[in-house]
C-alpha cells in the first residue's frame, strides 16, 4: 500500500462534500474516479495532493492519512498555469527547483573548500552529489528537451509565452512538467480534455506502461476501459470501489443497484407486517415484545436508497426547409498557415457529421464559419432561410468578447443569475411534453429552485457547461453545432445527451476528440489531414481508425515491393547478363507456405466474432469492441487475400520459366 485515507470528512462552508471516506492506493494501480458533476471528484484529488484538509483530523485516532514512506505526488489540474506571460521554459524549469538548490549549495561548498578541506564539508559535498544523481540533476536539460519534443513540440517553442499556445498545447506542456517531476503517484484531472485523437492514443499507451500509481478523473469511456483496472464511484458523499475497468463497473453497479432495490422491497414488506402487529396492540409488555417494537422502529427509521436525479433533455427543433447549409469551395488561412483549402459539402437533413484532427488545424474555425461568425477567405457559405442554429461553444467565456456576434454563443456573465441567463433566450420553451417555463426546464437540468437564483460565477465548470447546453436547446435549433461537447460533462449527462441526439430530428455537426462519443452518435467523419485538406470517411471514429490503419499497412507492404522491383534488375555500375529468372524472395517464400493457413484462421475468427455479437447485442461497449475486432479482422483478411493472389500469380510465372 502506497497511500491510505481513513474516515475522512471534507466540507466547504456548511456543505459536506465527502463523508467518511476510506481510500487506498496500491502499487501499479490505475484508478478512475467517476461521478456526477459537483459530487467531489476533484475534491478527492485535492485531498490526496494535500491542497484541502480533512474536517475531522482530530476526531478519531483512526482518522487521517497514511503513506508508505515519502511519496512524490504529481497533479495535473484542468487549469494548470497561473501566469500565462512567462515562457514555457521558465514554467518547466520550476520542476527542477531542488536541482538548482543543490547546484547553488555545491558552488558555495566549492568556494569554501578552496581554503577549508574539513571532513564535514567533503561529506556534505558527497551527499549533495548523490542527491543530484537521484534527481537526475546532471541531465535535466537533456531530459526536458527530449520530453518536450516527444510531445510534438519544436525546441524553439520553449521560448514562447504559455499564453500563445492553444488549450490542447497547454495541456501537453503541463504533462511535460508533470512527467519530469517523476511522481510516485500521478493525479490527472480530465487529462484528455483538449487533446487531439493522436495525442490521446499516445497518452493511453504511455499510461498503460506507467509503473507508478495513477488516479484520474475523466469522462473518456474508451480511455477508462483501456487504461484503468479499478473504478471508484463517488455517490452522495460516499465512495464505492470496483476492481475492474469501466465495462465491468457498469455491470457491477447495475448489480449493486438491483440489490439495493431488492433490499428496500424486502424492508417495506417486513415493515408492513410489523406495522400491522403494532396496530393490533400488544397486551403484555414482555422483553420479547419490546424487542419487536425496537426492530419495527429501526426498520422504520432506515433510509431508503436515494436514486440520482437525471437530466431530462427535451426540446422540439423547428422545421428545416430544402436548403440547409452548403459549403462551396471555401478556403481559410491564418498567419500564412493554410487551415482549410477548397472544401465543399452540402449538409443533408438528419446528417450526423464529426470533424477530427490535430489541435490548431482549423476545426473550431470551420464551425464558426458554418455558424456565420467568421467569413471564408474565398468560397461561399450558403445558409437556408429556415436554418436555426444552436452553437455549443468549446469554452465558456467569462469576459465579454469584443466581437458582439460571440456574446450569445459562449459568454456567461458571472454576475448574472442562472434563471435570467436562460430567460434571455426564452421564458417558455417548446418541448415534446408541451410548453415549459424556464424554471421548470432548469429543474429538469438539475438546477433546483434554490440554485436558479444563484450567480453563474458560483457554478462549477461542469454546471456551467450544462447550463450553456440548456440555453442552446432552448432556442429550438434545427442544426446543432457542438464544439467539444463532452469536455467537463459527467458520464451520466453524456449518456443522456447521446440518447437525446438519437431522437433529435435536425442536423448535428460536432468537433470532438471523444472517440466513444463519435462512435456512438456520428455517421460520417471528416478528418483534417494537413495543409488544409479535409477527407471524408463513412461511419464513426472506429471505422475511420480502421481505414487509416489498413492504408498504413498497405503502404508498408507496397514500399518493400517497390524497392525489390527497383533493385532487382540492375545494381549501380553493373550490367545484366541476359534475362533474369523470376524467383520468390525469402519473405515471399515464407508467406507462400503459410498464407492459406493464415486465411483459414482469419475466416474462423470472423465466424466466432459473429457469434459473440449475437450474445452481446445489449452491451453497447462490448458490442462496439467486437465490431471493431471484426472490422480489423476483415480488413486483414482482405489484405491477406490480395497477397495470396499476388503470390499465386508469381508462382505460376515461376513455374512457366
127-173 residue pLDDT tens: 998 888 888 888 899 999 988 988 888 999 999 999 888 777 888 89
pLDDT over 60 (residue 538)? yes
Residue 43: closest CA among 15, 77, 10: 10
- pLDDT at position 577 is 46
Cβ count within 10 A of residue 90: 14
- pLDDT at position 17 is 82
Contact 47, 10 (CB under 8 A): yes
Q: How many CA atoms lie within 13 A of 531 on its CB side?
A: 0
pLDDT grade for 64, boundaries at 50, 70 and 90 = confident
Sign of CA dihedral 410, 415, 417, 420: negative
Contact 392, 485 (CB under 8 A): yes
The residue-averaged pLDDT of 57-77 equals: 79
- pLDDT at position 317 is 67
The residue-averaged pLDDT of 495-506 equals: 84
Please report, in angstroms and rounded to a whole number, the separation of the first and last CA atoms in the chain. 71
Return mean pLDDT, the chain. 81
Task: Quickly tell me which residue has 518547466 as its cell.
Answer: 92
pLDDT grade for 381, boundaries at 50, 70 and 90 = very high
Residue 477: closest CA among 315, 317, 313: 317
- pLDDT at position 409 is 53
Residue 381: its H or E element: strand 378-383
- pLDDT at position 309 is 54
pLDDT over 50 (residue 575)? no
pLDDT grade for 399, boundaries at 50, 70 and 90 = low
| Pairing state between β 3-12 and 213-217 | unpaired
pLDDT over 50 (residue 570)? no
- pLDDT at position 292 is 56
What is the Cα 25 distance to its own chain's centre? 22
- pLDDT at position 376 is 94
pLDDT over 90 (residue 597)? no
Sign of CA dihedral 442, 445, 451, 455: negative
- pLDDT at position 407 is 40
**Which residues, at least 6 apart from 141, have a Cβ–Cβ distance to it below 8 Å?**
none
The 3-class SS string of 303-346 reads: CCCCCCCCCCCCCCCCCCCCCCEEEEEEEEEECCEEEEEEEEEE
Q: How far apart are CA 353 and CA 482, in angstroms?
A: 10
pLDDT over 90 (residue 640)? no
Residue 421: closest CA among 450, 436, 404, 442: 442
Residue 188: its H or E element: strand 185-189
- Residue 384: left (phi > 0), alpha (psi -120 to 50), or beta? beta
Which range has the worst mean pLDDT, 76-90, 236-250, 299-313? Answer: 299-313
- pLDDT at position 276 is 67
pLDDT grade for 240, boundaries at 50, 70 and 90 = confident
Angle between helices 491-503 and 461-474 (to 10 degrees): 10
pLDDT grade for 83, boundaries at 50, 70 and 90 = confident
Phi and psi angles of residue 120, each rounded to the nearest 5 degrees, phi first: -65, -30
pLDDT over 50 (residue 426)? yes
Contact 219, 491 (CB under 8 A): yes
Which range has the worst mean pLDDT, 32-36, 128-132, 266-270, 628-632? Answer: 266-270
The residue-averaged pLDDT of 627-641 equals: 79
pLDDT grade for 535, boundaries at 50, 70 and 90 = very high
- pLDDT at position 290 is 59
- pLDDT at position 330 is 95
pLDDT grade for 613, boundaries at 50, 70 and 90 = confident
The residue-averaged pLDDT of 22-43 equals: 87
The residue-averaged pLDDT of 378-407 equals: 75
**Which residues, at least 6 apart from 632, have a Cβ–Cβ distance to it below 8 Å?**
546, 549
- pLDDT at position 618 is 63
Cβ count within 10 A of residue 470: 24
- pLDDT at position 476 is 84
**Which residues, at least 6 apart from 354, have a Cβ–Cβ distance to it below 8 Å?**
510, 511, 512, 518, 521, 522, 524, 525, 526, 540, 541
- pLDDT at position 576 is 44
pLDDT grade for 377, boundaries at 50, 70 and 90 = very high
pLDDT above 70 covers what percent of the chain?
83
pLDDT grade for 224, boundaries at 50, 70 and 90 = confident
pLDDT over 90 (residue 340)? yes
- pLDDT at position 327 is 94
Q: Which three cell numbers stand for residue 334?
A: 491564418
pLDDT digits (tens, 9 = 90+) for 501-532: 888 888 999 999 888 899 999 999 999 998 99
- pLDDT at position 194 is 74
Cβ count within 10 A of residue 277: 14
Which range has the worst mean pLDDT, 51-65, 176-190, 499-513? Answer: 51-65
**Which residues, at least 6 apart from 493, have a Cβ–Cβ distance to it below 8 Å?**
36, 37, 311, 462, 466
pLDDT over 90 (residue 354)? yes
What does pTM read for this prediction? Answer: 0.66
- pLDDT at position 411 is 75
The residue-averaged pLDDT of 272-281 equals: 65
Q: How far apart are CA 624 and CA 546, in angstroms?
A: 13
Task: Quickly tell me which residue has 454576475 as its cell.
Answer: 415
Cβ count within 10 A of residue 225: 20
Task: Quickly tell me which residue has 473504478 as its cell.
Answer: 231
Which range has the worst mean pLDDT, 42-46, 316-320, 365-369, 449-453? Answer: 316-320
List the alpha helices (DSSP H) in 371-485. Answer: 407-410, 418-423, 438-444, 449-452, 461-474
pLDDT grade for 410, boundaries at 50, 70 and 90 = low
Q: How far apart are CA 401 and CA 453, in angstroms?
A: 25
pLDDT over 70 (residue 16)? yes
Residue 512: closest CA among 77, 78, 194, 226: 194
Residue 300: its H or E element: helix 287-301
pLDDT grade for 405, boundaries at 50, 70 and 90 = very low
Amino acid at each position: 500500500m502506497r497511500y491510505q485515507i481513513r474516515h475522512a470528512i471534507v466540507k466547504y462552508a456548511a456543505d459536506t462534500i465527502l463523508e467518511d471516506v476510506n481510500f487506498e492506493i496500491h502499487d501499479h494501480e490505475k484508478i478512475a474516479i467517476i461521478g456526477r458533476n459537483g459530487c467531489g471528484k476533484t475534491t478527492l484529488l485535492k485531498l490526496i495532493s494535500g491542497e484541502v484538509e480533512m474536517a475531522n483530523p482530530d476526531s478519531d485516532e483512526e482518522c487521517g492519512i497514511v503513506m508508505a514512506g515519502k511519496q512524490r505526488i504529481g497533479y495535473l489540474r484542468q487549469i494548470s498555469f497561473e501566469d500565462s506571460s512567462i515562457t514555457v521554459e521558465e514554467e518547466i524549469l520550476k520542476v527542477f527547483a531542488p536541482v538548482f538548490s543543490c547546484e547553488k549549495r555545491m558552488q558555495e561548498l566549492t568556494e569554501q573548500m578552496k581554503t577549508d578541506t574539513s571532513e564535514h564539508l567533503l561529506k556534505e559535498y558527497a551527499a549533495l552529489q548523490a542527491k543530484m544523481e537521484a534527481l537526475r540533476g546532471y541531465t535535466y536539460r537533456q531530459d526536458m528537451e527530449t520530453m518536450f519534443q516527444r510531445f510534438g513540440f519544436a525546441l524553439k517553442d520553449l521560448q514562447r509565452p504559455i499564453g500563445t499556445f492553444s488549450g490542447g498545447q497547454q495541456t501537453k506542456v503541463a504533462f511535460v512538467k508533470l512527467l519530469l517531476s517523476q511522481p510516485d503517484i500521478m493525479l490527472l484531472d480530465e487529462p484528455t480534455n483538449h487533446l487531439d485523437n493522436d495525442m490521446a492514443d499516445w497518452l493511453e499507451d504511455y499510461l498503460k506502461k506507467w509503473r507508478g500509481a495513477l488516479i484520474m478523473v475523466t469522462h473518456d469511456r474508451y480511455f477508462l476501459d483501456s487504461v484503468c483496472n479499478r473504478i471508484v464511484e463517488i455517490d452522495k458523499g460516499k465512495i464505492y470501489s470496483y476492481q475492474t475497468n469501466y465495462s465491468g463497473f457498469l455491470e457491477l453497479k447495475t448489480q449493486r443497484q438491483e440489490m439495493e432495490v431488492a433490499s428496500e422491497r424486502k424492508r417495506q414488506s417486513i415493515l408492513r407486517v410489523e406495522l400491522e402487529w403494532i396496530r393490533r396492540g400488544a397486551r403484555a409488555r414482555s422483553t420479547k415484545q419490546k424487542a419487536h417494537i425496537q426492530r419495527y422502529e429501526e426498520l422504520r427509521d432506515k433510509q431508503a436508497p436515494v436514486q440520482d436525479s437525471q437530466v431530462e433533455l427535451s426540446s422540439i427543433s423547428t422545421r428545416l426547409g430544402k436548403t440547409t447549409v452548403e459549403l462551396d469551395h471555401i478556403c481559410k488561412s491564418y498567419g500564412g498557415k493554410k487551415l482549410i483549402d477548397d472544401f465543399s459539402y452540402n449538409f443533408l437533413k438528419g446528417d450526423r457529421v464529426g470533424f477530427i484532427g490535430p489541435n490548431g488545424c482549423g476545426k473550431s474555425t470551420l464551425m464558426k464559419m458554418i455558424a456565420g461568425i467568421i467569413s471564408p477567405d474565398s468560397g461561399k457559405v450558403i445558409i437556408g432561410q429556415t436554418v436555426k442554429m444552436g452553437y455549443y461553444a468549446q469554452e465558456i467565456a467569462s469576459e465579454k468578447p469584443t466581437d458582439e456576434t460571440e456574446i450569445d454563443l459562449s459568454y456567461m456573465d458571472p454576475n448574472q443569475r442562472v434563471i435570467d441567463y436562460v430567460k434571455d433566450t426564452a421564458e417558455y420553451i417548446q418541448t415534446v411534453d408541451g410548453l415549459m417555463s424556464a424554471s421548470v426546464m432548469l429543474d429538469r437540468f438539475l438546477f433546483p429552485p434554490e440554485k436558479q437564483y444563484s450567480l453563474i460565477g458560483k457554478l462549477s465548470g461542469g454546471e456551467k457547461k450544462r447550463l450553456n447546453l440548456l440555453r442552446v436547446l432552448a432556442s429550438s435549433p434545427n442544426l446543432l453545432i457542438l464544439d467539444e461537447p463532452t469536455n467537463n460533462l459527467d458520464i451520466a449527462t453524456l449518456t443522456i445527451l447521446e440518447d437525446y441526439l438519437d431522437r433529435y430530428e435536425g442536423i448535428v455537426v460536432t468537433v470532438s476528440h471523444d472517440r466513444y462519443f463519435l462512435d456512438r452518435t456520428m455517421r460520417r467523419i471528416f478528418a483534417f489531414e494537413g495543409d488544409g485538406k479535409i477527407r471524408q470517411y463513412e461511419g464513426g471514429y472506429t471505422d475511420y481508425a480502421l481505414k487509416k490503419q489498413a492504408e498504413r499497412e498497405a503502404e508498408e507492404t507496397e514500399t518493400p515491393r517497390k524497392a525489390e522491383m527497383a533493385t532487382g534488375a540492375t545494381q549501380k555500375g553493373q550490367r545484366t547478363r541476359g534475362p533474369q529468372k523470376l524467383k520468390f524472395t525469402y519473405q515471399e517464400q515464407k508467406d507462400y507456405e503459410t498464407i492459406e493457413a493464415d486465411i483459414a484462421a482469419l475466416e474462423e475468427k470472423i465466424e466466432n466474432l459473429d457469434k459473440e455479437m449475437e450474445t452481446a447485442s445489449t452491451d453497447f461497449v462490448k458490442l462496439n469492441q467486437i465490431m471493431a475486432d471484426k472490422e480489423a479482422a476483415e480488413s486483414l483478411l482482405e489484405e491477406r487475400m490480395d497477397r495470396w493472389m499476388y503470390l499465386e500469380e508469381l508462382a505460376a510465372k515461376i513455374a512457366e520459366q
